[in-house]
């Protein structure tokens, strides 16, 4: 097992060494899980939520396309109506 040294910076920010970020495919905004093992030992594991990542992607696309929540809900209602008419109509 290879040891890496990191430094806690202002506001508790730590930097994961680039070699480890590349090795495990970590990117800015990814979620890591920190487990307190006691006696001053911590375990940090990649724990990026796929749902959260996809939600962030969808949110970014909606903002870029200037789609409002109201637009999204209206489109959903139209799709529901179309589905209902095709299925039961």
Q: Is residue 81 part of a domain?
A: yes
Contact 47, 33 (CB under 8 A): yes
Question: Is 17 a member of any domain?
Answer: yes
> Which pTM value belongs to this model?
0.46
* 2 domain-assigned: no
Mean pLDDT on 48-60? 76
Question: Residue 60 and residue 46: Cα distance in Å, rounded?
Answer: 23
Range of the domain at 70: 50-88
pLDDT band at 69 (very low <50, low <70, confident <90, very high): confident
Residue 1 falls inside a structural domain: no
Per-residue pLDDT at 2? 78
């Amino acid at each position: 097992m290879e040891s890496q040294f990191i430094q806690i910076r202002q506001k508790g920010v730590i930097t994961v060494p680039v070699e480890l970020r590349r090795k495990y495919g970590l990117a800015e905004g990814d979620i890591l899980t920190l487990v307190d093992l006691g006696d001053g030992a911590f375990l940090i594991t990649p724990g990026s939520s796929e749902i959260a990542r996809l939600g962030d992607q969808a949110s970014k696309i909606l903002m870029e396309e200037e789609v409002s929540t109201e637009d999204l809900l209206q489109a959903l209602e139209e799709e529901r109506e179309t589905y209902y008419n095709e299925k039961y109509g």
